[in-house]
Amino acid sequence: TGRREAYYRDYQGSAPELVSCARFGYLYQGQYYSWQKKRRGTPALDLLPRAFVTYLENHDQIANSAFGRRLHQRASPSRFRAVTAWMLLGPATPMLFQGQEFSSSRPFLYFADHNPELSASVTVGRRQFLSQFPSVKDASVQRALPPPTAAATFEQCKLDFGERERHAQAYALHGDLLALRHRDPVLSRAGRQRPEGAVLGPGAFLLRYVNAEHGDRLLVFNLDCDLDFTPAREPLIAPPYEMRWRLIWSSEAPEYGGQGTPAIDVDGMWMIPAGCALLFVPEPRQDRPEACDA
């Protein structure tokens, strides 16, 4: 979303961060963390990806905001689809939160059920906690904050499962990605190996699962504008010997609400579309590869 208030200040949502999260589970493993003015985390470089749980949103991120809005309501649709693919086709164990799989329009607010004597203190404490976010200090926002002990605040958070049909594109996106993760012989075992990864541009990166038995899988993500990655100065984007890449899935497919994916010249100039996630598998070349200069 680009918002870096309060305890989000030490994160940028950048391509290097997303590569590192996919490879190593989480970012802070003992480095200095400016928000807390001390080192944060412990090393976990020896753990396989399946030991970690990855999510795009949970009760902390959503409820610890002014109005409990979901990530899909704050990010661009194309970027949201792309990072959803990053999570669901990534190596860690994915977690979906409270209707995320059908882009629930319902907020997830902070609510509590206490006796009247305690309710007033809870409300004051909640406003004080949220005041660490400069935008929430605004008087108009303070007046609009949903009271945490009101029954209406709780009722707003109840999911509307009819949105599975009304938000069919989002539901299809999540269903297809989970099916890919389950059925593909490489992706289904992704948690047992650390993927290779590389940054291609300001918002573009790739992950590659190396698998001698079933063939590699190449995931390319671009959260920025169209990227002309020519010449392709990254070995991980090269196909296996005497093979070529074939695109088998795109987050920009129209059935997910996307705008379509232009043809990608995998043997020549890599033009990576904006706001997309792409999955490639290797297939045998129909022609002999040209001899390459050393």
**pLDDT tens by residue, 142-199:** 899 999 999 999 999 999 999 999 999 999 999 999 999 999 999 999 999 999 999 9
200 near 272, Cβ under 8 Å? yes
Whether the per-residue pLDDT at 293 is higher than 90: the answer is: no
d(CA 98, CA 115): 27
What is the mean pLDDT of the segment spanning 206-220? 98
How many angstroms separate the CA atoms of 71 and 67, rounded? 12
pLDDT confidence of residue 292: 58
Residues contacting residue 280 through CB under 8 Å, at least 6 positions apart: 217, 218, 219, 220, 245, 246, 247, 248, 266
Mean pLDDT of 73-79: 96
For the chain, give the mean pLDDT.
94
Residue 289 pLDDT class (50, 70, 90 cuts): low
Question: Is there a contact between 173 and 180 (Cβ–Cβ < 8 Å)?
Answer: no
Residue ranges of the chain assigned to CATH 2.60.40.1180: 173-284
Cβ atoms 221, 206 nearer than 8 A: yes
Percentage of the chain lying above the pLDDT 70 cut: 98
Q: What is the pLDDT of residue 145?
A: 92
The CATH number, out of the four listed (2.60.40.1180, 2.60.40.180, 1.10.30.50, 3.90.420.10), of the domain defined by the range 173-284: 2.60.40.1180
pLDDT-derived band at 140 (thresholds 50, 70, 90) equals very high
pLDDT, mean of residues 192-221? 97
pLDDT, position 2: 81
pLDDT at 294 over 60: no
Distance CA 245, CA 206 (A): 14
Going by the DSSP 8-state scheme, the letter that residue 243 receives in this structure is E
Is pLDDT at 130 greater than 80 in this prediction?
A: yes
User: 89 pLDDT exceeds 70?
Assistant: yes
| Cβ neighbours for 57, distance < 8 A, ≥ 6 positions apart | 70, 71, 97, 100
Indicate whether this model's pTM tops 0.75.
Answer: yes
Q: Please tell me the predicted confidence (pLDDT) of residue 272.
A: 96
pLDDT at 189: 96
SS3 state of residue 44: coil
Residue 51 predicted with pLDDT over 90 = yes
Question: Residue 7: is its pLDDT beyond 90?
Answer: no
Mean pLDDT of 111-126: 88
- The pLDDT of 25-53, averaged and rounded, is 95
Instruction: Give residue 3's pLDDT.
Output: 82
pLDDT at site 286: 83
